[in-house]
Amino acid sequence: MTEEQLDLGRKKWITLGVLALGLSMVVLDGTIVSVSLPVLIDQLSLNFTQAQWITSIYAVVLAALLITSGRLGDRLGRRRMFALGVLIFLAGSVLAASATSAWPLLWGRIVQGIGAAGVMPGTLATMNAIFRGRDRIIAFAVWGSVISGVAAIGPLLGGWLTTNFTWPWIFLVNIPLGAVVLIGLVLFVPETRMGKAAPGLDVDGFLLSAAGFALLVFALIEGQTYGWWKPLREFPMPGFKWSENAWISPIPVFLALGVLALVLFIRWENHRNLVGRSALLDPKLFLIPSFRWGNVTAFAVSLGEFGLLFVLPLFMVNVLGLSTLGAGFVLAAMAVGAFFAAGIAEGIVRKVGPVRVVQIGLAFEAVAIALVALFVTPHISGWWLAILLVVYGVGLGMASAQLTGTVLADVPPASSGQGSATQSTVRQVGSAFGTAVVGALLSVALGKDLPRRLEDVQNLPASAADTLSTATRESAGGAISGLRAHDGAGAIVDALCRGFTDATRSTLLAAALFLLVGLAAATRIPFRAPDTPTAVDGESGVDQT
**Top-confidence range, 288-302, 327-341, 415-429:** 288-302
SS3 499: helix
Query: Which residues partner with 193 through β-bridges?
Result: 543
Please say whether the beta carbons of 114 and 88 come within 8 A: yes
Residue-wise DSSP of 377-388:
-TT--HHHHHHH
Averaged over 120-135, what is the pLDDT? Answer: 76
Longest dimension (CA), the chain: 85
Check residue 9 and give its pLDDT: 58
The whole-chain average pLDDT of the chain stands at: 83
* pLDDT of residue 317 exceeding 50: yes
Cα–Cα distance for residue pair 224/37, rounded to 1 Å: 19
* pLDDT of residue 83 exceeding 60: yes
SS3 235: strand
Please say whether the beta carbons of 454 and 465 come within 8 A: yes
Averaged over 168-190, what is the pLDDT? Answer: 91
Check residue 199 and give its pLDDT: 59
Averaged over 175-184, what is the pLDDT? Answer: 93
* pLDDT of residue 535 exceeding 90: no
Q: Which DSSP helix (H) or strand (E) runs through 543?
A: strand 542-544
pLDDT in tens, 88-108: 999 999 999 999 988 999 999
SS3 544: strand
Please say whether the beta carbons of 407 and 350 come within 8 A: no
Which of 120, 123, 125, 91 minimizes the C-alpha distance to 108?
91
Please say whether the beta carbons of 370 and 510 come within 8 A: no
Q: Which DSSP helix (H) or strand (E) runs through 192?
A: strand 192-194
* pLDDT of residue 206 exceeding 70: yes
Structural domains of the chain in order of their starting residue, each with its CATH number: 3-190+278-450+502-530 (1.20.1250.20), 202-277 (no CATH)
Check residue 144 and give its pLDDT: 67
Averaged over 271-289, what is the pLDDT? Answer: 84
Residues in the chain: 545
Is the model more confident about 421 or about 205? 205
Residue type, 441: L
Cα–Cα distance for residue pair 182/85, rounded to 1 Å: 10
Which of 358, 208, 390, 389 minimizes the C-alpha distance to 290?
358
Check residue 434 and give its pLDDT: 83
Cα–Cα distance for residue pair 56/58, rounded to 1 Å: 5
Check residue 538 and give its pLDDT: 44
Which of 334, 340, 337 minimizes the C-alpha distance to 308?
334
* pLDDT of residue 531 exceeding 70: no
Check residue 475 and give its pLDDT: 83
Is the model more confident about 395 or about 236? 395
Cα–Cα distance for residue pair 233/160, rounded to 1 Å: 40
pLDDT in tens, 361-403: 999 999 999 999 999 999 998 899 999 999 998 998 888 778 8
The answer for residues whose C-beta is within 8 angstroms of residue 205's C-beta and 6 or more apart is 265, 268, 269, 272, 279, 280, 281
What per-residue string of b and e applies to 213-231 under the rule 16 or more CB within 10 Å gives b?
bbbbbbbbbbbbbbbeeeb
Cα–Cα distance for residue pair 44/372, rounded to 1 Å: 30
Q: Could you write out the three-class secondary structure of 26-64?
A: HHHHHHCCHHHHHHHHHHCCCCHHHHHHHHHHHHHHHHH
How far is C-alpha 150 from the geometric centre of its chain's CA atoms?
Answer: 12
Check residue 528 and give its pLDDT: 67
Side-chain-side CA neighbours of residue 269 (13 Å): 23
Cα–Cα distance for residue pair 247/251, rounded to 1 Å: 12
CA angle (425 as vertex; 366, 284 as ends), nearest 5: 100
Averaged over 479-493, what is the pLDDT? Answer: 79
Averaged over 458-485, what is the pLDDT? Answer: 83
Cα–Cα distances in Å, from 363 out to 249, 348, 512? 38, 15, 10
The answer for residues whose C-beta is within 8 angstroms of residue 530's C-beta and 6 or more apart is 349, 350, 351, 352, 353
**Percent of the chain scoring above 70 in pLDDT:** 91
Averaged over 45-57, what is the pLDDT? Answer: 84
Check residue 8 and give its pLDDT: 53
The answer for residues whose C-beta is within 8 angstroms of residue 134's C-beta and 6 or more apart is 537
Check residue 537 and give its pLDDT: 47
Which of 496, 498, 505, 453 minimizes the C-alpha distance to 473?
496
The answer for residues whose C-beta is within 8 angstroms of residue 485's C-beta and 6 or more apart is none
1 confidence band (pLDDT: 50, 70, 90): very low
* pLDDT of residue 515 exceeding 70: yes
Check residue 373 and give its pLDDT: 93
Cα–Cα distance for residue pair 56/221, rounded to 1 Å: 9
242 confidence band (pLDDT: 50, 70, 90): confident
Cα–Cα distance for residue pair 46/269, rounded to 1 Å: 39
